Amino acid sequence: MEHVTPDQVDWTKLGFDYIPTGKSFRAEFKDGQWQEGSIVNEATIQIHEASPLIHYGQGCFEGMKAYRTKENKIQVFRPELNAQRMVDSAHRLAMEAYPVEDFVRAIHQVVKANKDWVPPYGSGASLYMRPYLLGNGPMTTVAPAEEFVFGIYVTPVGPYFKGGLKPFNFLISDYDRAAPKGTGRAKAGGNYAAGFIASQAAKKQGYADAIYLDPLTHTKIEEVGAANFFGITPDGQFITPDSPSILPGITKRSLLWLAEHRLGLKAVEGEIYVDQLDQFAEAGAMGTAAVITPIGSITHGDHEYVFYSKDEVGPLTLKLYQELVGIQTGDIEPPAGWIQVVDC
């Protein structure tokens, strides 16, 4: 892969492709304990050919971002929530969890080591961080690993759905991404492999991505392949699905709070029946990568539900976007504890 330096990057043109920065964080669990982690100059990992990662999909990951403020500080958004979600994912997959405090410390270390790769304030780009946990070492029986690798790679990114803040169209998939009591709540790698085929089919038909229904009844909206779903009713309710098989998004939890406390909406986690989608005046996808992506339409079979407009962003979706991004980039006062400044 061709290596570029930060001064060669046009930050405003970034999409979501991997750009090597040369510095990652790595720690190993061996002989029953986590070894001290460190910054490494290596983008490849030695994985045993008989590892539970390769054969049984024993791996999970996280997604988070670092942002540059107007004052040229670098800050991260609620990193302890990603750390805790990775502990929860690890437990679901019978893995050795990486401790929350060590995770947060590693985030600060890896951002500091890559500080020149944090895109400038106002560019619309940020430094994406991918913590991961892998089951390594030989294990031929169907059983969890006894050795693990925890790592974090970083790469500068722009918008996940290309084209900026505009509505995108989504397609309801016939496939399930997770089983009712399966791994949907965990950020397990296998959930994403299970969704590739649905996502590819949606994109081939000209949609931005697939949306999944609940795997038990196939009547309720679950989530987008890489983000959570929300709808806003004309009477001011911000509603997002409550399901045991979706990922408990950090953006979703943040927007539930912001909708209620900053926008005066009624925030609801509840069931959203697909045949009642026309109750929404606006809709969107929310996540670290997706930020807030307005949803112009959802197609289910031969029915198309349009929200607000297929060309323009709805006013409440725009306000939520400005509030969230304003907090993340330091322009708007954050709720207590949401922002950590990285000491560079």
Interface positions with ligand COI (CB under 6 A): 63, 160, 226, 287-289
- Sketch the per residue contact string, 109 through 148, with ligand PLP: x for CB under 6 A, - otherwise: ----------------------------------------
User: Closest CB to ligand COI among 37 and 195?
Assistant: 195
Q: How far is the CB of 228 from ligand PLP (least distance, A)?
A: 4
- Sketch the per residue contact string, 164 through 203, with ligand PLP: x for CB under 6 A, - otherwise: ----------------------------------------
| Partner whose binding site includes residue 86, from ligand COI, ligand PLP, none (CB under 5 to 8 Å by kind) | none
Clarify whether 187 is annotated catalytic: yes
User: Closest CB to ligand PLP among 60 and 247?
Assistant: 247
H, E, C per residue of 266-293: EEEEECCEHHHHHHCCEEEEEECCCEEE
Which class for 270: exposed (0-12), middle (13-18), buried (19 or more C-beta within 10 A)? exposed
Residue 287 binds ligand PLP, judged by CB under 6 A? yes
| Tokens standing for residue 16 | 């979501």
| Partner whose binding site includes residue 223, from ligand COI, ligand PLP, none (CB under 5 to 8 Å by kind) | ligand PLP
List the catalytic residue out of 23, 65, 187, 220: 187
Is the Cβ–Cβ distance between 233 and 276 less than 8 Å?
no
Strands 209-213, 168-172: parallel, antiparallel or unpaired by DSSP?
A: parallel
Residue 14 binds ligand PLP, judged by CB under 6 A? no
**Going along 209-288, which residue ranges are E strands?**
209-213, 221-224, 227-232, 237-241, 266-270, 282-287
| CA-angle at 260, arms to 248 and 336, nearest 5° | 75
Maximum separation of any 2 CA atoms in the chain, in Å: 58
Q: How far is the CB of 242 from ligand PLP (least distance, A)?
A: 14
Q: How far is the CB of 191 from ligand PLP (least distance, A)?
A: 7
| Tokens standing for residue 61 | 């990951």
Q: How far is it, in rounded angstroms, from Cα 187 to Cα 61?
A: 6
Q: How far is the CB of 160 from ligand COI (least distance, A)?
A: 6
Strands 74-77, 59-61: parallel, antiparallel or unpaired by DSSP?
A: unpaired
Interaction site with ligand PLP (CB under 6 A): 63, 223, 226-228, 247, 249-252, 287-288
